[in-house]
Structure 1
Amino acid sequence: MTFVNGMMCKNYDEYLTATEKFQTPAQNFGFSSASGDLAIRINGMLPAKYDQDGRFVEYGNNSKNDWSAFIPRQQNPHVVNPPENYVSSANQRSASKNYPYYFTGNFENYRNKTIIEKLKTGSDFTAQDMQKMQMSSFSPKAKEFVSVIPTDCRQMGSASGINWYDKLKEWSFEYLKDKTEPVFFEIYMKHLRMNTFDEIYSKLDEVAIPIPKDWVLYKNILNDPLNEIFNIKKTSTIENADNIQKLAFFKSIREIDSLMTAWKNLNWGNYNPLHIYHPTRIPALSANNLAADGCPDAINAKGNSFGPSWRMIVHQKKPVEAYGVYPGGQSGNPFSPYYKNMVNDWVEGKYHVLHQNITMEELSKKQVKKVVASPNKVKS
């Protein structure tokens, strides 16, 4: 009832009261009103942890490791009517280093920057502008890593090296389904990680060790190119970031040239197709091998088996203007034409009008089917 109660409120104070009983799972609650108020907060019960608590496995039979208190709800990370006149969240860090409570987690480091940049530089957004923003396949990570590729890489692999180097430098950094640049870049990143973190990859069969995040790799290339992490242990020479990038680029040329020969039409859409699995994994109930724009670092955060499951835009004017689309349909019956009829619309970014404040008379004009329930009278 938390969400229902929250949507029935007339102002932010009523909204806080209506949603304060929500406990778990803690998640971002966004708020906007027709009067122009904006807010976002992490709503839920958050344990008050001591420094570094939760980073590693702890003994369950030691009461010291129990949660002893929770962060007061009013101190949960939140912001109300910020001077920027917008709020946003894409699973990035929720609070600054000055936040009085220790917290840890797996935070997003790229697509939130794209969102903030678009909101900061734009103005007078229409619902259609927001649709374009939600479908953005721009990767700031790709832009960062391509900017530091050594110019010497252009001479590798003769004509092929020149071709791929120039393609990357001219690339818009958008993961579009009909482009090959995203394919080359992903192959390049794979070799860059494996050559840099060779010590970790060699141990993965023995112990689960997390591979450092790509933003950590980028910062080391940029600020600490002589870091020992770039040295490949099994070679007699001492490699640095420049050597590792060149090696990764050379290996990428060989790999993609081989793929281009084997595939009739290599592009991002068929190299990394999207699969929307049914919980049973039955192919007939799923939507598989979809060619789609996007990548995990873009606002259109599409992966091999995931993506933005619900796109919605609401313009709080009178009457309300709202649009939405999701990768499925409005029927749970696999034999119904409405079981997954919106999947292609979701892939292509075709939004549907979400009808608001509609009267019974208006609703009857838009009906698809009509079911009349006439229970038999019980004879006394």
Structure 2
Amino acid sequence: MNRTKNVLAIILFVLGVLALALIIFIQTLRPDYKGKKQLKGISESVSVYFDTYGIPHIYASNELDAIRALGYVHAQDRLWQMELLRRIGTGGLSEVFGEDMVETDKFFLSLGIGDASARAVSALDKNSEANQLAEAYLDGVNQFIEKGPTPVEFYLTGLQKQSFQIKDIYNTVGYMAFSFAMAHKTDPLLTNIKDKLGMPYLVDLEVGVDADTEWIKNFKAKSSDSIQNRVVALLENSLKNLPFPQFIGSNSWVIAPQKTKNGKVILANDPHIGFAQPSVWYEAHISTPTYEKYGYHMAGIPFPLLAHDRTLAYGITMFENDDVDFYYEETHPSDSTLYKTNEGWEKYETFNKTIKVKDGEDITFTFKKSKHGPILNGIADQVKGERPIAMSWIYTQGGNKVLEAIHGLSHAKNIKDFQAALPNIHAPGLNIMYGDAKGNVAWWATAKLYQLPNSTNTKFIMDGASGEQEILRYLDFEENPQAINPPWNYVYSANNQPDSIAGMLYPGYYLPENRAKRIVKLLEPRNDWDMAATQNMMLDVTSSEDAGIVMDLVKTMDIALLSQEKIEVLELLRHWDGSYPLKSVEGTIYNRWVYFFLRNTLEDELGEEMFQQILATHMIKRSIAPLAAKTASVWWDNIFTKDKVETKADIVRLAFDEAIASLKEDLGEDNIQWTWDKVHTLEHGHPIGQVALLRRFFNVGPFPVIGAREVINNMGFPYDNSRFYKVSSGPSTRRIVDFSDIENSRSILPTGQSGNPFSPHYEDQAEMYINGEFRKMMMNELEIKKTSENLLIFQPTKRKESKN
């Protein structure tokens, strides 16, 4: 008996020691939000006050010291995110996650992001302020890598920490630029549909520009005042497992003083990005005697992409211009090293790249490149065939001054300075939204736009051999879409089609007019906008289109063929206003109906693979309303029913029956229980959270969530066979800057400021975000110092006394 007690005591003691050791280990992994640390390179002490939500307010005697401290605190909260983000564009994911990411690494290596970064670094003025500040920021990051605790993800993956260099900034921006593009998902697919089915099928999908749509209006004051389907498969497979979210869309509007209650500008911005944990933005407030900015930073980038101070504010949305083109190349019939151009035969460039694979052998692969770009054939096993397809991407061509651009935006003192920095943004295409304390409001579409021959349609794979579909010229920045202080007293962007300012349309993959129409409808009639009204508008969940789409479908139904139960469901939909609160039954029925409507309309002609591919494009969002409104279409007939030609009524009724049956199967017989909260949920996934045992520790959620696709509170989800709507993208922050009360401007993050799961700020904003709450973006120094419980002081390293 005593022996048993002794054994139990020993076991309990060992378990206690292990538990204590684990607690101590976890404590060492937490970010340090208080205390004193030495930081090499600073001239005087830097004080970092962390507010209630873990946002650093950095006070320093000069900007170099401040941004060095920013690099350190940014890294202690987001080093793992920084590490992944710099790796994507240069093919470094297999080293972390193993062979499953080899195809993704091959694709990104072939794009040439790393090579473009090297060229940009070599051309960078090393003595410029932008470079000196960037190097100071990276020095702060690297000092954390050297001295700070190793994030738990590095232990779990076995990855060793490595220092950051200036090229990593460009590599990160390169991935961001590519994730904005939609052509890689769309052009090969549209070409395949055209070749397989013919142009009438594309005409009925409304892939062209609709002259009646809600366009963004320009304003400038006068001076006086098949193989291609395998290519789609390659791109889909390469991007689907990325451990970092892609950029999707966005809303922003800036209201001039004439339309605000207090006579001052209000800027609202909510960039739409794929949800993940940690969330994309890292907030930081820097204050020095000569510089102050409250900004939103991407991991590893020293200057904010969204920011404000007491003088001006700016935000972004995605322009959605077409900066990726595909070309068919013609290889010499007897010499595979040559391809045809309008000036004769030229030699393909050949590149050899090596991918490091976790728990496996290094993989070396070879790809070719024409003057247009990398040849996608051969990059992945499934892309084969004799007709080479090259991918041309504006980001990797010409000069790259993105570092100078974002430095210029964050250091502008007025609208003139701000505008001067914009032409340096060549890619990705961004809508830059601007407002200032003097009452100016502005929108600029920034990108290096170009003109092709009039007969060229960039939404299809073009002919690379003839020379007849090459770029004719690059547009001057003055020809880009823009509006500065327009007489209607606001500017906005919802990723919709911009009007022309250069006598030409700008090819792109613009989102449907749904959000744009709603924004204009809400902004136009009011001249008393304030903070509260703007917050309510950002949370608006009413679609400008969905109720109309429902009516186009409902009026197709023959009531005489329906049961009383189904008639009651249709009656619910007839009175729906298109809104998506949590208890909406109509929204659930509508989205289920639309999915089956699209499937029964398109899948028989496209096949399952191409149908899933088209569902992942912006194009399908633009096609739903036109398809629902059409009475005649080549798509209605089911090609597999040889003895019958289906009509729209047949397709709509079949889709409705399937939707009702599936809802009963998933949610029960009582349609009152088919509420939106049961099917529309948001979970913020961490890369490590894909492991089932670690999901609850690393992931945040899931939460039922209001909103839907293409409403202002845009909670996007894929249509797929799951029949549920797991939100994949949405507002990466909701942010409102009010120049009538700048120190009480408002914001929120989807989860929390920190990416460290042991930090109290890992998910402390998650429920606030779901509930539509906002918090203050603090700028008042006295208030910050009075309310902050945590103060971290960076001190200069002590100089060793010289011996006499």
Q: Deviations along 1:55-94, whole A, 9 cap, x unmatched?
A: 2234667766654532111111111122211111011012
Q: Is the 8 A contact 1:154 1:165 kept in 2?
A: no
Per the TM alignment, residue 168 of structure 1 is displaced from its structure 2 partner at its CA by: 1.2
Aligned residue number for residue 660 of structure 2: 253
Aligned residue number for residue 332 of structure 1: 755
Deviates more, 1:368-377 or 1:106-115: 368-377
Number of aligned residues? 376
**Residue 740 (structure 2) pairs with residue 317 (structure 1):** yes
Q: Is the 8 A contact 2:715 2:731 kept in 1?
A: yes
**Residue 717 (structure 2) pairs with residue 306 (structure 1):** no
Q: Is the 8 A contact 1:160 1:253 kept in 2?
A: no
Per the TM alignment, residue 3 of structure 1 is displaced from its structure 2 partner at its CA by: 4.0
In 2, Cα distance between equivalents of 1:128 and 1:329:
23
In 1, Cα distance between equivalents of 2:776 and 2:611:
50
**Residue 474 (structure 2) pairs with residue 70 (structure 1):** yes
Aligned residue number for residue 564 of structure 2: 159
- Return the match for 1:218 from 610, 613, 625: 625
**Residue 687 (structure 2) pairs with residue 274 (structure 1):** no
In 1, Cα distance between equivalents of 2:605 and 2:676:
28
- Return the match for 1:287 from 672, 697, 700: 700
Aligned residue number for residue 369 of structure 1: 790
In 2, Cα distance between equivalents of 1:330 and 1:31:
25
TM-score (norm 1): 0.88
Per the TM alignment, residue 167 of structure 1 is displaced from its structure 2 partner at its CA by: 1.5
In 2, Cα distance between equivalents of 1:66 and 1:7:
36
In 2, Cα distance between equivalents of 1:332 and 1:272:
25
The code of the aligned residue for 1:19 comes to L
Partner SS for 1:30: strand
Q: Is the 8 A contact 2:479 2:501 kept in 1?
A: no
In 1, Cα distance between equivalents of 2:473 and 2:621:
34
In 2, Cα distance between equivalents of 1:7 and 1:124:
30
Per the TM alignment, residue 251 of structure 1 is displaced from its structure 2 partner at its CA by: 2.2
Gap regions ≥5 residues in structure 1: none
In 2, Cα distance between equivalents of 1:207 and 1:158:
31
- Return the match for 2:590 from 180, 185, 193: 185
The code of the aligned residue for 2:486 comes to P
Partner SS for 2:790: coil
Q: Percent of aligned pairs with the same residue?
A: 21
Q: Deviations along 1:234-256, whole A, 9 cap, x unmatched?
A: 33333322332222222222222
In 1, Cα distance between equivalents of 2:590 and 2:505:
39
Partner SS for 2:791: coil
Q: Aligned in 2, Cα 1:339/1:131: closer, same or farther, shift over 3 Å?
A: same
**Residue 529 (structure 2) pairs with residue 125 (structure 1):** yes
Q: Is the 8 A contact 1:150 1:246 kept in 2?
A: no
In 2, Cα distance between equivalents of 1:207 and 1:137:
28
Per the TM alignment, residue 273 of structure 1 is displaced from its structure 2 partner at its CA by: 1.4
Q: Aligned in 2, Cα 1:362/1:147: closer, same or farther, shift over 3 Å?
A: same
Q: Aligned in 2, Cα 1:206/1:314: closer, same or farther, shift over 3 Å?
A: closer
**Residue 467 (structure 2) pairs with residue 34 (structure 1):** no
In 2, Cα distance between equivalents of 1:42 and 1:306:
23
In 1, Cα distance between equivalents of 2:688 and 2:475:
39
Which of the pair is proportionally richer in strand? 2
Q: Aligned in 2, Cα 1:26/1:78: closer, same or farther, shift over 3 Å?
A: same
Per the TM alignment, residue 320 of structure 1 is displaced from its structure 2 partner at its CA by: 4.6
Q: Aligned in 2, Cα 1:4/1:311: closer, same or farther, shift over 3 Å?
A: farther
Partner SS for 1:74: helix
Q: Is the 8 A contact 1:153 1:249 kept in 2?
A: no
Per the TM alignment, residue 351 of structure 1 is displaced from its structure 2 partner at its CA by: 0.3
Q: Aligned in 2, Cα 1:247/1:265: closer, same or farther, shift over 3 Å?
A: closer
Aligned residue number for residue 341 of structure 1: 764
Q: Is the 8 A contact 1:153 1:161 kept in 2?
A: no
In 2, Cα distance between equivalents of 1:62 and 1:204:
34
Aligned residue number for residue 242 of structure 1: 649
Q: 1:21-170 maps to which residues of 2 (within 5 A)?
A: 21-51=424-454, 52-58=456-462, 67=471, 69-96=473-500, 99-148=503-552, 149-150=554-555, 152=557, 154=559, 157-170=562-575
**Residue 783 (structure 2) pairs with residue 378 (structure 1):** no
Partner SS for 2:483: strand
- Return the match for 1:200 from 601, 605, 611: 605
Per the TM alignment, residue 228 of structure 1 is displaced from its structure 2 partner at its CA by: 3.0
Per the TM alignment, residue 53 of structure 1 is displaced from its structure 2 partner at its CA by: 4.6
Q: Deviations along 1:2-45, whole A, 9 cap, x unmatched?
A: 34533544543232113332322120111112222211011132
Q: Is the 8 A contact 1:294 1:301 kept in 2?
A: yes
Q: Deviations along 1:312-356, whole A, 9 cap, x unmatched?
A: 011112555410001121223210111121111111110001123
Q: Is the 8 A contact 1:153 1:250 kept in 2?
A: no
The code of the aligned residue for 1:272 comes to H
Aligned residue number for residue 223 of structure 2: none
Q: Is the 8 A contact 2:512 2:622 kept in 1?
A: no
Per the TM alignment, residue 169 of structure 1 is displaced from its structure 2 partner at its CA by: 1.7
Per the TM alignment, residue 100 of structure 1 is displaced from its structure 2 partner at its CA by: 2.1
The code of the aligned residue for 2:708 comes to C
Deviates more, 1:165-174 or 1:49-58: 49-58
The code of the aligned residue for 2:752 comes to G
Per the TM alignment, residue 198 of structure 1 is displaced from its structure 2 partner at its CA by: 3.8
Q: Is the 8 A contact 1:92 1:108 kept in 2?
A: yes
Per the TM alignment, residue 265 of structure 1 is displaced from its structure 2 partner at its CA by: 5.5
In 2, Cα distance between equivalents of 1:206 and 1:372:
57
Partner SS for 1:213: helix
Per the TM alignment, residue 214 of structure 1 is displaced from its structure 2 partner at its CA by: 4.9
Q: Deviations along 1:247-291, whole A, 9 cap, x unmatched?
A: 222222222222232899542223121122224444222223221
Per the TM alignment, residue 213 of structure 1 is displaced from its structure 2 partner at its CA by: 2.8
Deviates more, 1:208-217 or 1:273-282: 208-217
Q: Aligned in 2, Cα 1:226/1:55: closer, same or farther, shift over 3 Å?
A: closer
**Higher relative contact order at CA 8 Å, sep ≥6: structure 1 or structure 2?**
2
Which structure is larger by alpha-carbon Rg, 1 or 2? 2
Partner SS for 1:194: helix
The code of the aligned residue for 2:634 comes to E
Q: Is the 8 A contact 1:157 1:250 kept in 2?
A: no
Partner SS for 2:498: coil
In 2, Cα distance between equivalents of 1:291 and 1:307:
14
The code of the aligned residue for 2:681 comes to P
Q: Aligned in 2, Cα 1:92/1:98: closer, same or farther, shift over 3 Å?
A: same
